[in-house]
């Protein structure tokens, strides 16, 4: 059998290896003399092994990087498990990250550190002038007004603690060309904004997934894909709601205490989505709404092509809501009901009733899925 892979040029083989975890990439050195040095020329580091002993995991990271000092690193993905985090020194981890990014060639930085380190975006990432993707998860963050990251296209901040009252609006202002934004579970007493004008608009933004109390809707008003979560303690959605002229996909996460209020606010957002084709709503824990008929008369609902009801519990009003969508969405192609697999009997009953209900769209397909 012909070995076609080994016949490829070194540059292409290194590109292929760059998509593998670094540990696996290094292991290819045993294949042949040709392969032995290749891993040292891979422009990416990817470390995640939740079962590895913490001391050996850190040693492996440093060992691999030490043999790649002459190779410009373009991507760093580092994820530390909770087990490893309990026994590792956060400063050692951060020192390793600093060494990698110091060369100034890193374009993709993806860190999941389980709060083991504090990243100062103005100093630790000072050399990352070519940074195009930044994903930070489970760590502490500080920021300086002077920091700028004009090339960043993807910015994901999840489960982040922000220190010293550094507001999120300054971080977003430093990334004016971001196209893909995710801001979820930000932990800071200063994080709620008082005035939407504190934020600069992001003109190139195409996709966003946000906590609505942290990022005002006006900042993401030009997106095509939007996921939104509203804090449980809010009495109502923060005003104003912009006109979403480009939004085609909307996913709403249910975190309300006041469930009737939640149902009302989802409709208020939907009314401002003039090109909405795909709507996904979490149904679990909703209270019985008083305004299902209002959904029937909404022009945005009439133009839906796909509607997904997540965490469907089988409550009577949920069944009525599903009927309302199917009976009034003129262009509906897919009605998807996602429910707990333990509710099989109730699902079958609802399936029979929904299958027999009238549908305004002749091409509407009804399907049930479990989670």
- Domains of the chain: which residue ranges? 224-371
pLDDT tens readout for residues 77-118: 999 888 887 778 777 888 888 888 888 899 999 999 876 567
- For 101, phi and psi rounded to 5 degrees? -80, -10
Distances (CA, A) of 156 to 176, 248, 315: 14, 21, 35
pLDDT of 189: 43
Is it the case that residue 191 has pLDDT exceeding 90? no
Which of 251, 145, 241 has the alpha carbon at shortest distance from 196? Answer: 241
Token pair of 86, please? Answer: 């309990």
Position 55 pLDDT exceeds 70: yes
pLDDT of residue 15: 92
Q: Which residues contact 345 (CB under 8 A, 6 or more apart)?
A: none
The answer to whether residues 300 and 273 touch, using CB atoms and an 8 Å cutoff, is yes
d(CA 121, CA 131): 12
Query: What does the pLDDT look like over 274-304, one tens digit per residue?
Result: 899 999 998 865 566 667 778 877 888 888 9
* Opening angle at CA 171, ends 164 and 169, nearest 5: 85
Percent of the chain with pLDDT over 90: 35
pLDDT, residue 18, reads 92
Distance of CA 194 to the CA centre of its chain: 25
Per-residue pLDDT band at 42 (split at 50, 70, 90):
very high
pLDDT tops 80 at residue 261: no
Residue with tokens 């504090």: 118
Residues 42-64, mean pLDDT to the nearest whole number: 88
Is residue 270 within 8 Å of 279, Cβ to Cβ? yes
Name the band, by pLDDT with cuts 50, 70 and 90, for residue 123.
Answer: confident
pLDDT of res. 229: 84
**Run of H or E residues at 339:** strand 334-339
Distance separating alpha carbons of residues 221 and 223, to the nearest angstrom: 6
Q: What is the pLDDT of residues 132-166, one digit of tens each?
A: 999 999 888 877 666 788 999 999 999 888 776 55
Q: What is the mean pLDDT of the chain?
A: 83
Separation of alpha carbons 152 and 147, rounded Å: 13
**72 C-beta neighbours (distance < 10 Å), count:** 12
Instruction: Pick left, alpha or beta for residue 164 (phi over 0 → left; psi -120 to 50 → alpha; otherwise beta).
Output: left
Q: At what angle do helices 54-66 and 90-101 cross, to 10 degrees?
A: 20
* Dist. CA 274–CA 150, nearest whole Å: 31
What DSSP character marks residue 217? G
Instruction: Mention every residue, 6+ apart, whose C-beta is less than 8 A from residue 197.
Output: none
Using alpha carbons only, give the angle 241, 302, 361 rounded to the nearest 5 degrees: 155
Are 231 and 212 spatial neighbours (Cβ–Cβ below 8 Å)? yes
The pLDDT score that the predictor gives to residue 358 is 87
Compute how many other C-beta atoms are within 10 angstroms of the C-beta atom of residue 219.
Answer: 23
**pLDDT average, residue stretch 232-261:** 74
- Give yes or no for a cis peptide into 240 (omega within 30° of 0): yes
Inform me whether the pLDDT recorded for 350 exceeds 90.
no
């Amino acid at each position: 059998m012909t070995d076609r892979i080994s016949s490829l040029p070194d540059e292409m083989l290194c590109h292929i290896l760059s998509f593998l975890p670094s540990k696996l990439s290094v292991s290819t050195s045993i294949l042949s003399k040709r392969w032995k040095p290749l891993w040292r020329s891979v422009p990416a580091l990817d470390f995640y092994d939740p079962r590895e002993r913490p001391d050996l995991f850190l040693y492996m990271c440093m060992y691999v990087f030490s043999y790649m000092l002459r190779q410009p690193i373009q991507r760093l993905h580092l994820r530390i498990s909770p087990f490893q985090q309990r026994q590792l020194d956060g400063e050692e981890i951060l020192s390793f990250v600093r060494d990698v990014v110091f060369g100034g060639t890193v374009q993709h930085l993806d860190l999941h550190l389980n709060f083991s380190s504090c990243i100062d975006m103005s100093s630790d990432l000072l050399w990352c002038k070519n940074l195009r993707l930044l994903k930070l998860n489970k760590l502490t963050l500080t920021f300086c007004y002077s920091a700028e990251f004009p090339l960043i296209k993807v910015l994901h901040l999840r489960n982040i603690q922000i220190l010293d009252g550094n507001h999120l609006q300054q971080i977003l202002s430093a990334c004016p060309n971001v196209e893909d934004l995710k801001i979820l579970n930000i932990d800071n007493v200063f994080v709620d904004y008082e005035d939407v004008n504190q934020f600069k608009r992001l003109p190139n933004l195409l996709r966003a997934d946000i906590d609505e109390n942290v990022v005002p809707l006006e900042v993401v008003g030009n997106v095509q894909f939007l996921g939104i979560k509203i804090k449980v303690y809010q009495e109502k959605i923060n005003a104003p709601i912009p006109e979403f002229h480009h939004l085609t996909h909307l996913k709403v996460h249910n975190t309300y205490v006041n469930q009737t209020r939640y149902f009302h606010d989802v409709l208020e957002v939907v009314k401002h989505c003039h090109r909405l084709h795909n709507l996904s709503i979490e149904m679990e824990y909703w209270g019985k709404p008083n305004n299902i008929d209002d959904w029937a008369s909404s022009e945005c609902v009439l133009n839906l092509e796909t509607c997904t009801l997540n965490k469907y519990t089988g409550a009577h009003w949920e069944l009525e809501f599903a009927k309302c969508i199917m009976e009034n969405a003129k262009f509906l192609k897919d009605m998807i009901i996602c429910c707990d697999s333990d509710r099989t009997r109730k699902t079958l009953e609802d399936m029979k009733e929904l299958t027999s209900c009238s549908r305004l769209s002749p091409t509407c397909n009804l399907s049930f899925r479990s989670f």
